[in-house]
């Protein structure tokens, strides 16, 4: 559960991002202000192209904001502030599962015995201990994504940033991985910012859902998820779950139509 009281773990204050190109300047994000509590699971939803992934990359330091401030408050000096999990796992094919997981700590100079021991603990957590010496080509899509998650966790980041990590998986594997996320998050209590196109997934996983407008992305509304924890897949059958899906979709639909109209030069219907 998110920690109560005290300063936020992540603070975004009036963050804007503009990209310049041959066609001129495009404002991707416009004055985003958002606080994320320590231990919170925050989901970002919005229409395609609204800047969700850009916002995640700003938090990771991969994209520099044009205006505003980003602060991540460290509790464990010496460990990375953030680690990202992408839609594509991007594993190194010539390295075993274990060697992929230790890649980050290895580059940070963590002693071999220490980084391998920690990586093995993480592989137990994600259910891949038996595959420590397998290579990526020997793994299923879901297993590869677990390795990607394990690689991020091995760095022991203050904040875990996840950019549609399940989008490329088939429906059954995605469902299994949602259960895995719930279990891993409950055990580790990491602060997570999670981008998804699925309202249902956001409600299942999140403590709060931030809905972004069509480009330029702004925070349109924040939805608290009041469903209890621990939370399993059965919660999707509850009336409260369905009511929240409808509430979020009503707001998101407006932004999807607006984004479509902008792309086609028409007007929202």
Residue 23 falls inside a structural domain: yes
Which tens digit of pLDDT belongs to each residue from 86-132? 877 788 999 999 999 999 889 888 899 999 999 999 999 888 999 99
Please report, for the domain that includes residue 53, its CATH number: 3.40.50.300
Is residue 97 situated within a structural domain? no
Domain residues for 204? 1-81+193-269
Residue 246 falls inside a structural domain? yes
Q: Is the pTM of this model over 0.95?
A: no
pLDDT, tens digit, for every residue of 130-152? 999 999 999 988 899 889 989 99
Asked if residue 257 is part of any domain, the answer here is yes
Residue 111 domain-assigned (yes or no): no
Count of structural domains, the chain: 1
Q: Is residue 204 part of a domain?
A: yes
CB within 8 A of 88, min separation 6: which ones? 168
Instruction: Indicate whether 12 belongs to any domain.
Output: yes
pLDDT per position as a tens digit, 180-208: 889 889 988 899 999 999 999 999 999 99
């Amino acid at each position: 559960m998110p920690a109560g009281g005290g300063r936020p773990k992540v603070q975004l204050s009036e963050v804007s991002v503009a990209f310049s190109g041959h066609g001129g300047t495009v404002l991707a994000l416009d004055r985003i202000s958002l606080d994320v509590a320590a231990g919170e699971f925050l989901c970002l939803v919005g229409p395609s192209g609204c800047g969700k992934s850009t916002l995640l990359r700003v938090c990771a330091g991969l994209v520099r904001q044009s205006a505003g401030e980003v602060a991540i408050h460290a509790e464990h000096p010496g460990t990375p502030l953030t680690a990202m999990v992408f839609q594509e796992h991007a594993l190194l094919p010539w390295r075993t599962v274990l060697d992929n997981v230790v890649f980050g700590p290895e580059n940070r100079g963590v002693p071999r015995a220490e980084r391998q021991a920690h990586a093995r603990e993480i592989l137990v957590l994600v259910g891949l201990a038996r595959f420590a010496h397998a290579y990526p080509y020997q793994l299923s899509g879901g297993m590869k994504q677990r390795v990607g998650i394990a690689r991020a966790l091995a760095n022991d980041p203050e904040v875990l940033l996840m950019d549609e990590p399940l989008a490329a998986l088939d429906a059954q594997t995605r469902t299994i991985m949602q259960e895995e996320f719930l279990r891993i998050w409950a055990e580790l209590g990491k602060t997570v910012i999670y981008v998804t196109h699925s309202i249902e997934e956001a409600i299942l996983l999140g403590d709060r859902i931030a809905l972004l407008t069509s480009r330029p992305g702004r925070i349109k509304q924040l939805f608290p998820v009041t469903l209890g924890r621990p939370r399993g897949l059965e919660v999707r059958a509850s009336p409260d779950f369905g009511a929240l899906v409808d509430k979020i979709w009503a707001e998101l639909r407006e932004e999807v139509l607006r984004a479509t109209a902008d792309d086609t030069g028409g007007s929202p219907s």
